[in-house]
Protein backbone atom coordinates (compact mmCIF):
# COMPACT_ATOMS: atom_id res chain seq x y z
CA UNK A 1 0.00 0.00 0.00
CA UNK A 2 1.17 3.50 -0.79
CA UNK A 3 1.89 6.04 1.93
CA UNK A 4 0.56 9.56 2.12
CA UNK A 5 2.83 12.51 2.82
CA UNK A 6 1.47 12.43 6.37
CA UNK A 7 2.49 8.82 6.99
CA UNK A 8 5.86 9.37 5.31
CA UNK A 9 6.63 12.33 7.58
CA UNK A 10 5.49 10.42 10.64
CA UNK A 11 7.70 7.44 9.82
CA UNK A 12 10.68 9.74 9.27
CA UNK A 13 10.11 11.39 12.64
CA UNK A 14 9.91 8.05 14.45
CA UNK A 15 13.43 7.39 13.30
CA UNK A 16 15.03 10.83 13.45
CA UNK A 17 13.81 11.51 17.00
CA UNK A 18 13.87 7.83 17.95
CA UNK A 19 10.48 8.49 19.52
CA UNK A 20 6.90 7.25 19.32
CA UNK A 21 5.68 9.72 21.94
CA UNK A 22 2.89 12.20 21.23
CA UNK A 23 2.16 15.02 23.65
CA UNK A 24 -1.48 16.02 23.83
CA UNK A 25 -2.07 19.72 24.51
CA UNK A 26 -5.28 19.98 26.54
CA UNK A 27 -5.16 23.31 28.41
CA UNK A 28 -7.69 24.20 31.11
CA UNK A 29 -7.85 27.66 32.68
CA UNK A 30 -8.11 26.20 36.15
CA UNK A 31 -5.03 24.01 35.70
CA UNK A 32 -2.53 26.08 33.76
CA UNK A 33 -0.02 27.95 35.96
CA UNK A 34 -1.47 31.01 37.63
CA UNK A 35 1.03 33.43 36.11
CA UNK A 36 -0.29 32.61 32.61
CA UNK A 37 -3.99 33.09 33.30
CA UNK A 38 -4.04 36.87 32.98
CA UNK A 39 -2.00 36.95 29.79
CA UNK A 40 -3.61 38.09 26.55
CA UNK A 41 -3.26 34.61 25.01
CA UNK A 42 -2.89 32.18 27.94
CA UNK A 43 -3.53 28.94 26.05
CA UNK A 44 -1.15 29.87 23.26
CA UNK A 45 1.58 30.78 25.74
CA UNK A 46 1.02 27.59 27.73
CA UNK A 47 1.05 25.45 24.60
CA UNK A 48 4.09 27.19 23.12
CA UNK A 49 6.16 26.63 26.25
CA UNK A 50 5.08 22.97 26.44
CA UNK A 51 5.98 22.51 22.77
CA UNK A 52 9.41 24.10 23.15
CA UNK A 53 10.19 22.01 26.23
CA UNK A 54 9.09 18.67 24.77
CA UNK A 55 9.73 18.93 21.02
CA UNK A 56 12.98 16.98 21.03
CA UNK A 57 11.22 14.02 22.63
CA UNK A 58 8.13 13.63 20.41
CA UNK A 59 6.98 12.40 17.02
CA UNK A 60 3.70 14.34 17.19
CA UNK A 61 1.70 16.97 19.01
CA UNK A 62 -2.05 16.59 19.51
CA UNK A 63 -3.88 19.80 20.48
CA UNK A 64 -7.46 19.18 21.64
CA UNK A 65 -9.87 21.46 19.81
CA UNK A 66 -12.64 21.54 22.43
CA UNK A 67 -10.32 22.80 25.16
CA UNK A 68 -9.65 25.89 23.07
CA UNK A 69 -13.15 26.32 21.62
CA UNK A 70 -14.92 26.14 24.98
CA UNK A 71 -13.09 29.29 26.06
CA UNK A 72 -13.48 31.04 22.70
CA UNK A 73 -9.75 30.58 22.06
CA UNK A 74 -9.88 29.13 18.54
CA UNK A 75 -7.49 31.83 17.31
CA UNK A 76 -4.99 30.74 19.95
CA UNK A 77 -5.32 27.15 18.68
CA UNK A 78 -4.59 28.39 15.16
CA UNK A 79 -1.57 30.37 16.32
CA UNK A 80 -0.23 27.38 18.26
CA UNK A 81 -0.55 25.04 15.29
CA UNK A 82 1.12 27.65 13.08
CA UNK A 83 3.95 27.97 15.62
CA UNK A 84 4.54 24.21 15.69
CA UNK A 85 4.38 23.95 11.91
CA UNK A 86 6.89 26.74 11.31
CA UNK A 87 9.24 26.10 14.24
CA UNK A 88 9.24 22.29 14.22
CA UNK A 89 8.18 21.35 10.68
CA UNK A 90 9.37 17.77 11.08
CA UNK A 91 6.83 17.07 13.87
CA UNK A 92 3.33 16.09 12.76
CA UNK A 93 0.28 17.85 14.21
CA UNK A 94 -2.87 15.86 14.96
CA UNK A 95 -5.93 18.00 15.61
CA UNK A 96 -8.00 16.10 18.15
CA UNK A 97 -11.55 17.06 17.19
CA UNK A 98 -13.36 13.70 16.78
CA UNK A 99 -15.57 15.00 14.00
CA UNK A 100 -18.35 12.82 12.63
CA UNK A 101 -20.91 14.04 10.09
CA UNK A 102 -21.84 13.65 6.42
CA UNK A 103 -22.38 15.73 3.33
CA UNK A 104 -21.60 19.43 3.27
CA UNK A 105 -21.01 19.49 7.04
CA UNK A 106 -18.27 16.85 6.78
CA UNK A 107 -16.67 18.85 3.99
CA UNK A 108 -16.62 21.91 6.21
CA UNK A 109 -15.09 19.97 9.10
CA UNK A 110 -12.36 18.73 6.75
CA UNK A 111 -11.80 22.26 5.50
CA UNK A 112 -11.62 23.53 9.09
CA UNK A 113 -8.96 20.98 10.06
CA UNK A 114 -6.82 21.11 6.95
CA UNK A 115 -7.28 24.62 5.57
CA UNK A 116 -8.19 26.83 8.53
CA UNK A 117 -5.90 25.15 11.07
CA UNK A 118 -3.43 23.53 8.64
CA UNK A 119 -3.24 20.40 10.79
CA UNK A 120 -1.49 17.34 9.38
CA UNK A 121 -4.23 14.99 10.59
CA UNK A 122 -7.56 15.06 12.41
CA UNK A 123 -9.43 12.57 14.58
CA UNK A 124 -12.81 11.45 13.19
CA UNK A 125 -15.72 9.24 14.23
CA UNK A 126 -16.70 6.50 11.74
CA UNK A 127 -20.21 5.85 13.13
CA UNK A 128 -21.89 7.34 10.04
CA UNK A 129 -19.88 5.16 7.67
CA UNK A 130 -17.73 5.98 4.68
CA UNK A 131 -19.74 9.10 3.88
CA UNK A 132 -18.37 10.73 7.03
CA UNK A 133 -14.76 10.05 6.02
CA UNK A 134 -14.92 10.71 2.28
CA UNK A 135 -14.27 14.50 2.41
CA UNK A 136 -11.08 13.92 4.40
CA UNK A 137 -9.75 11.49 1.80
CA UNK A 138 -9.93 14.34 -0.73
CA UNK A 139 -6.94 15.90 1.09
CA UNK A 140 -4.54 13.21 -0.10
CA UNK A 141 -1.49 14.53 1.79
CA UNK A 142 -3.32 14.59 5.13
CA UNK A 143 -3.99 12.01 7.84
CA UNK A 144 -7.34 10.61 8.97
CA UNK A 145 -7.28 9.26 12.52
CA UNK A 146 -10.33 7.03 12.98
CA UNK A 147 -11.77 6.08 16.37
CA UNK A 148 -11.63 2.29 16.71
CA UNK A 149 -11.10 0.87 20.23
CA UNK A 150 -11.07 3.83 22.55
CA UNK A 151 -9.56 3.79 26.03
CA UNK A 152 -12.61 4.85 28.05
CA UNK A 153 -14.42 2.09 30.03
CA UNK A 154 -17.85 3.10 28.75
CA UNK A 155 -16.91 2.23 25.16
CA UNK A 156 -17.57 -1.49 25.70
CA UNK A 157 -21.34 -1.32 25.17
CA UNK A 158 -20.89 -0.48 21.48
CA UNK A 159 -17.31 -1.23 20.48
CA UNK A 160 -17.38 -4.80 21.84
CA UNK A 161 -20.80 -5.59 20.39
CA UNK A 162 -20.67 -8.74 18.30
CA UNK A 163 -21.53 -8.33 14.64
CA UNK A 164 -21.10 -11.31 12.29
CA UNK A 165 -19.05 -13.14 14.94
CA UNK A 166 -16.62 -10.25 15.32
CA UNK A 167 -16.57 -7.26 17.71
CA UNK A 168 -17.51 -3.97 16.14
CA UNK A 169 -14.09 -2.40 16.78
CA UNK A 170 -12.41 -5.11 14.68
CA UNK A 171 -14.91 -4.59 11.88
CA UNK A 172 -14.11 -0.86 11.99
CA UNK A 173 -10.40 -1.68 11.73
CA UNK A 174 -10.89 -4.03 8.81
CA UNK A 175 -13.21 -1.67 6.96
CA UNK A 176 -10.96 1.37 7.37
CA UNK A 177 -8.06 -0.72 6.08
CA UNK A 178 -10.07 -1.40 2.92
CA UNK A 179 -11.03 2.26 2.48
CA UNK A 180 -7.48 3.50 3.00
CA UNK A 181 -6.10 3.24 -0.53
CA UNK A 182 -3.69 6.17 -0.17
CA UNK A 183 -2.06 5.38 3.15
CA UNK A 184 -3.76 8.25 4.99
CA UNK A 185 -5.40 6.48 7.93
CA UNK A 186 -4.53 5.75 11.53
CA UNK A 187 -6.71 4.03 14.11
CA UNK A 188 -7.28 5.13 17.70
CA UNK A 189 -6.68 2.09 19.92
CA UNK A 190 -6.46 2.58 23.67
CA UNK A 191 -3.51 1.52 25.80
CA UNK A 192 -5.96 0.24 28.41
CA UNK A 193 -6.89 -2.73 26.17
CA UNK A 194 -3.56 -4.26 25.05
CA UNK A 195 -5.01 -7.61 23.94
CA UNK A 196 -7.50 -5.83 21.72
CA UNK A 197 -4.75 -3.54 20.48
CA UNK A 198 -2.90 -6.66 19.33
CA UNK A 199 -6.02 -7.83 17.48
CA UNK A 200 -6.29 -4.49 15.69
CA UNK A 201 -2.61 -4.62 14.74
CA UNK A 202 -3.09 -8.09 13.29
CA UNK A 203 -6.10 -6.88 11.28
CA UNK A 204 -4.50 -3.78 9.71
CA UNK A 205 -0.86 -4.72 9.14
CA UNK A 206 1.46 -1.73 9.35
CA UNK A 207 -1.19 1.01 9.54
CA UNK A 208 -0.14 3.50 12.26
CA UNK A 209 -2.05 3.41 15.53
CA UNK A 210 -2.71 6.37 17.82
CA UNK A 211 -2.64 5.02 21.36
CA UNK A 212 -4.06 7.18 24.17
CA UNK A 213 -4.41 5.98 27.72
CA UNK A 214 -0.87 5.77 29.07
CA UNK A 215 0.01 7.82 32.13
CA UNK A 216 -3.07 9.31 33.80
CA UNK A 217 -5.41 6.62 32.45
CA UNK A 218 -3.19 3.78 33.62
CA UNK A 219 -2.16 2.09 30.38
CA UNK A 220 1.14 0.19 30.39
CA UNK A 221 3.85 1.29 27.95
CA UNK A 222 5.38 -2.19 28.07
CA UNK A 223 2.07 -3.85 27.17
CA UNK A 224 1.43 -1.39 24.36
CA UNK A 225 4.81 -2.03 22.77
CA UNK A 226 4.41 -5.79 23.07
CA UNK A 227 1.00 -5.66 21.41
CA UNK A 228 1.18 -2.89 18.88
CA UNK A 229 4.45 -2.29 17.04
CA UNK A 230 4.50 -2.78 13.28
CA UNK A 231 6.80 -4.99 11.22
CA UNK A 232 9.55 -2.37 11.48
CA UNK A 233 9.32 -2.01 15.25
CA UNK A 234 7.50 1.33 15.07
CA UNK A 235 3.91 2.02 14.00
CA UNK A 236 2.67 3.64 17.23
CA UNK A 237 1.89 7.19 18.29
CA UNK A 238 1.66 6.83 22.06
CA UNK A 239 -0.19 9.83 23.44
CA UNK A 240 0.14 11.32 26.89
CA UNK A 241 -1.49 14.60 27.80
CA UNK A 242 -2.20 15.38 31.45
CA UNK A 243 0.69 13.28 32.74
CA UNK A 244 3.14 15.50 30.85
CA UNK A 245 1.62 18.95 30.46
CA UNK A 246 0.63 19.14 34.13
CA UNK A 247 3.80 17.57 35.52
CA UNK A 248 4.47 20.93 37.17
CA UNK A 249 2.20 23.82 38.07
CA UNK A 250 4.66 26.59 38.88
CA UNK A 251 6.75 28.89 36.74
CA UNK A 252 8.95 25.90 35.85
CA UNK A 253 5.95 23.98 34.46
CA UNK A 254 7.49 23.69 30.99
CA UNK A 255 10.79 22.36 32.31
CA UNK A 256 8.89 19.78 34.36
CA UNK A 257 6.92 18.78 31.26
CA UNK A 258 10.18 18.35 29.36
CA UNK A 259 11.58 16.11 32.09
CA UNK A 260 8.44 13.97 32.10
CA UNK A 261 8.38 13.71 28.29
CA UNK A 262 12.00 12.56 28.28
CA UNK A 263 11.12 9.94 30.89
CA UNK A 264 8.16 8.58 28.93
CA UNK A 265 10.19 8.50 25.73
CA UNK A 266 12.90 6.54 27.57
CA UNK A 267 10.28 4.10 28.90
CA UNK A 268 8.95 3.57 25.38
CA UNK A 269 12.40 2.96 23.91
CA UNK A 270 13.37 0.59 26.72
CA UNK A 271 10.19 -1.40 26.14
CA UNK A 272 10.86 -1.39 22.39
CA UNK A 273 14.42 -2.75 22.63
Catalytic positions are 98
> What backbone phi and psi angles, to 5 degrees, belong to 259?
-65, -45
Instruction: Provide DSSP, 19-50.
Output: --EEEEE---TTTS-GGGTTSSSHHHHHHHHH
**What is the C-alpha separation between 211 and 22, in angstroms, rounded?**
9
Which residues, other chains included, contact 171 with Cβ-Cβ below 8 Å and sequence gap of 6+? 163, 164
Contact 247, 260 (CB under 8 A): yes
Contact 14, 58 (CB under 8 A): no
Which residues, other chains included, contact 214 with Cβ-Cβ below 8 Å and sequence gap of 6+? 191, 220, 221, 224, 238, 239, 240, 243, 264
**What is the C-alpha separation between 236 and 26, in angstroms, rounded?**
20
Exposure string over 101-116, b if 16+ CB within 10 A, otherwise e: beeeebeebbebbbee
Amino acid sequence: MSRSEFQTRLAARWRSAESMLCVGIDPELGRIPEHLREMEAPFFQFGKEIVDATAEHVCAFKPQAAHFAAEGFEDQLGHLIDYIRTTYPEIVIILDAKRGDVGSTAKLYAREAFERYQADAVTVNPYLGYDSLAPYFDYSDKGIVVLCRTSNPGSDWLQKSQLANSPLYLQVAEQVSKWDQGGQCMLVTGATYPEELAQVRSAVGDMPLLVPGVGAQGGSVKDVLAAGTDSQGYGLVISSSRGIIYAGDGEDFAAQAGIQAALVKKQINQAKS
